Structure 1
Amino acid sequence: MVKPKKANLVQNKNVALEKQLVQGKITKRKNKDKFHLRAEESSMLDSKTSKKILDAAKAQQLELNDDNFPSLGGEKAYTHVNIGEIAEEDENKDVTENDFMDNLEIDAEDAKAFERFQNPQEGKRTLKLSDIILEKIQEKQQDIQSKLTDNGSLNIEDIDPRVREMYEGVRDVMKRYRSGKVPKAFKIIPRLRNWEQILFITEPHNWSAAAMFQGTRIFCSVLSHAMAQRFYNLVLLPRIRDDLCEYKKLNMHLYNALKKALFKPAAFMKGIILPLLEAGDCTLRESIIFGSVIARSSIPVLHSSACLLKICEMGYTGANSIFIRYFLDKRYALPYRVIDAAVFHFIR
């Protein structure tokens, strides 16, 4: 049998017992494999290199978002929004004062050159918002009366004096509105059968800019596409054009209202963009500000294509060319019919 090896006993002479016990408890550290990094593989990067890497990654991400054709993802599903929840949201968190051109300056020579391409057959705007609403209501009443064959088949009753008095109070509130909750009587206007007549009592042309923003949020979320189109065309569009004509810049709340109107893109195109261009008197300032909403927002490709097709079928004007440029810069996968219309528009 092999004898076990004897442990090498080290005789520690003249060593204190305490030191011997300590030396017995401490074990030697094992040698681990060491990995030496080269200079180019250093784990720490300086601040300049880190900033360059982050900037390059951000630029690549933005380029991918623009180049991947957002229209191929399909339309976004719009869910029903409760009116009570709408009023409690912060009305100023969409756009800040620096998000759009509040101090937009137009060169006088550029404006004159732009007006040369305007349609000379169309006259300048002379009607105010209140005149347009009153005219539309009178036309509707005449249309109803002309269709009646029997005077007793339909009774058109006047508004209850108590209801009129209540909405006259709402009118005074909307004139001075700045922030906070809107009256409950105002929220139910879109659900009324004669909402246009009730809306005229509140005098939308005298609303504050913040009140117009709140009204647009409520009306565009409750009304159908056809009714929202009428609200955009009769109330929102004239108010924005009057504000631009008077102050030469657009209020932040009105710009937010214009962006909120895209909640219903079909009504936005039919009630704002196309009437603006069909009028023939769209100014350079208006085309830039309205076009910036299109450029900065995500719009379904079908609605964008339909609006682009209608614009291309119009005559050549400076405003039409600017809007065509905004739509084409979105780089959507357009149908062949729209592409053909854009080509023929410029080769006429």
Structure 2
Amino acid sequence: MGKEQFSRMNAKAPRHDPLHVQLMGPSENDPLPQGKQPRAKAARNERKNKADANFVDAKLSRKILSIAQEQQDEIRREERGGLSSDDDEEENTFGKKAASGGNRNFIPTIGDSDEEDSDMEEADDFGTFDEIEIDQRDAELLAKFMPAAPKEKKTLADLIMEKINAQNAANAAAAAAAASGDVVVPGSEKKKGPLDSAMDYADDDETGDNRPMPMGLSPKVIEVYSKVGLLLSRYKSGKLPKAFKIIPSLQNWEEILYITAPENWTVHATYQATRIFTSNLKEKQAHKFFSLVLLDKIRDDIADNKKLNYHLYMALKKSLYKSKAFFKGILFPLCESGNCTLKEAAIVGSVITKVSIPVLHSAAALLRLADMEYTGPNSLFIRVLLDKKYALPYKVIDALVDHFLRFKMDPRPMPVLWHQSFLIFAQRYKSDITPDQKQALIELLRFKTHEGISPEIRRELVNSVARGEMLPEPTDDDMLMDI
């Protein structure tokens, strides 16, 4: 007989433990077999790590609760910002009740709307700007630099009315020529397109507005955009009509925008419109929208409430992403108006401080402000732009030097804003001026002084190395100290 082969399959299973031992199960304190010791230890460590992971210490708990409280406060703040005190229960533009809820059966009559591009962005630093406090003497000095007659400001309605009056004059001239017997060449009349109508004006009953409407538009177009304007005058939140979103793509977008009556828009609608027009219009067209619509809304709100509404502030911030259009449509008209208040300048300046601007656009803005007729807000904007510490071209540096030097023989004392902008210029760009400019600015301090600011300006200029100057050679004592 051969030897029986041993195999694990044929091996007898070890005798089981007694029943009462199996029921009790192994304990963590029981000694484990030598071969199973590492695995059991790893299992115990894993259980311990899981228990530690589920534990949150007191410091982390306080931090989590603080973040949750801030989020709740922000939600409540946004809800209060999206509703006026008089319209908390009023139905919004698209049939949704404001925060308390309500009837949702209203369906807009103008087309469908796309989903909103994005929600309102965070603005934790909204409205934070340095409050400018000036005494009575400085206020009188600033008043001396204000023009006697502020520059006349044109609105979108004025622009459209000029076109309407010009068209009326042309029609009257054509009618007079026809009455005098002049021959009219066939086909010389302007042919009307499919959207045009024989009616030059919309009926007051259709639009509900007594304003004259642009000529050459279909009554249906006027009716649709008049209803869009009515919706925007009540808009709080939700989707915008497609008819409004396509306005930037229209060739006569100014006339269509005029029909919607931008002066009656809510602040929420103004913000949404600014987002759409900033994203879809070119620089030249966007600066018209900023100048004719957004600037007036901002100034009126500041004049009425002594501060700027959250949504208008965000609209102003959004407009700065087209910086060239922002400067041409908001900053320059504001400075040239002649009646810009320091509060308006401080709010606009705070937006400029928070948003990054291309260097060339900032340089061009400084060049324009330096050559502009001086007012107090000009110095504030110059100070804000200089404080961004951009590397400016020498042409801009020279223009700023000339800007300060032109007041050397001015008999009027300069306001503190002028001295502050002078100090910022000396601190940031003292190494970019020529030696002659440096001496001229030091000489200027003899004529225009401020007891608290002028000594600092002199110290910055005297201890600086001008453009083209050689650095002073170290003395022997300095060399010995280095060794």
TM-score over 0.5 (shorter chain): yes
Please show how residues 172-321 of structure 1 align to structure 2 within 5 Å: 172-321=230-379
CA deviation string 1:219-271 (max 9, x = no partner): 11111111101000000011101111111100000000001101211111111
Distance in 2 of aligned mates of 1:293 and 1:223: 21
Q: 1:114–1:213: structure 2 CA closer, same or farther, 3 Å change rule?
A: farther
Deviation, 1:147, is 8.8
State how far apart, in whole Å, the 1-side matches of 2:259 and 2:191 are. Answer: 23
Describe the superposition over 1:85-107 as per-residue Cα deviations: whole angstroms up to 9, x where unpaired.
7x33102x2424x5214996856
The superposition leaves residues 273-330 of structure 1 with CA deviations (integer Å, 9 ceiling, x where unpaired) of 0111111211100110001111111000011100110000013221010000001000
Q: TM (normalized to structure 1)?
A: 0.68
Q: 1:123 aligns with which of 133, 139, 150?
A: 150
Cα distance in 2, alignment partners of residues 344 and 267 from structure 1? 26
Select 1:109's aligned residue among 122, 127, 136.
136
Q: Quick check: 2:132–2:342 contact (8 Å CA) kept in 1?
A: no
Amino acid paired to 2:163: K
Alignment partner, residue 88 of structure 1: 117
Higher RCO (CA-CA < 8 Å; seq separation 6+): 1
Match of 1:134 in 2: 157
Checking the alignment, whether the CA contact within 8 Å between 1:111 and 1:284 is kept in structure 2 is no
Secondary structure of 2:251's counterpart equals coil
Report if aligned partners of 1:118, 1:280 keep a CA contact under 8 Å in 2: no
Between the aligned partners of 2:191 and 2:322, the Cα distance in structure 1 is 33
- Give matches, 1:32-111, under 5 Å: 87-91=116-120, 93-96=121-124, 98-101=125-128, 109=136
Superposed CA RMSD in Å reads: 3.1
- Identify which of 208, 228, 234 aligns with 1:170: 228
Q: What is the number of equivalent residue pairs in this alignment? A: 264
Query: What corresponds to 2:466 in structure 1?
Result: none
Q: Distance in 1 between matches of 2:262 and 2:145?
A: 30
Counterpart of 2:250, as a letter, is L
Q: 1:293 to 1:172 in 2, by over 3 A?
A: same
Aligned-pair distance for 1:109?
Answer: 3.2
Aligned partner of residue 349 in structure 2, secondary structure:
helix
Q: Is the 8 A contact 2:130 2:346 kept in 1?
A: no
Counterparts in 2 of 1:110 and 1:184: CA distance versus 1, 3 Å: farther
SS of 1:120 mapped into structure 2: coil
Q: Which moved more, 1:292-301 or 1:162-171?
A: 162-171
Please say if residues 151 and 336 of structure 2, whose CA atoms lie closer than 8 Å, have aligned partners that are also in contact: no
Change (3 A) 1:262 1:103: closer
Residue 145 (structure 1) shift: 7.5
Distance (whole Å) between structure 2 residues aligned to residue 99 and residue 110 of structure 1: 31
Higher helix share: 1
Identity across matched positions, percent: 45
CA contact (8 A) 2:245 2:276 kept: yes
Q: Is the 8 A contact 2:229 2:261 kept in 1?
A: yes
> Which stretch shows the higher mean deviation, 174-183 or 297-306?
174-183
With normalisation by structure 2, the TM-score equals 0.50
Q: In the TM superposition, what is the alpha-carbon distance from 1:111 to its structure 2 partner?
A: 7.5
Question: Greater shift after overlay, 100-109 or 317-326?
Answer: 100-109
- Structure 1 or 2, whichever has the larger Rg, is 2
- Partners of 1:146 and 1:224 in 2: how far apart? 32
Deviation of 1:343 after TM superposition, in Å, equals: 1.0
Name the CA shift for 1:146/1:226 in 2 (closer, same or farther; >3 Å). farther
Give how far 1:180 is off: 1.6
Distance 1:186 1:196 in 2: 12
CA shift for structure 1 position 218:
0.3
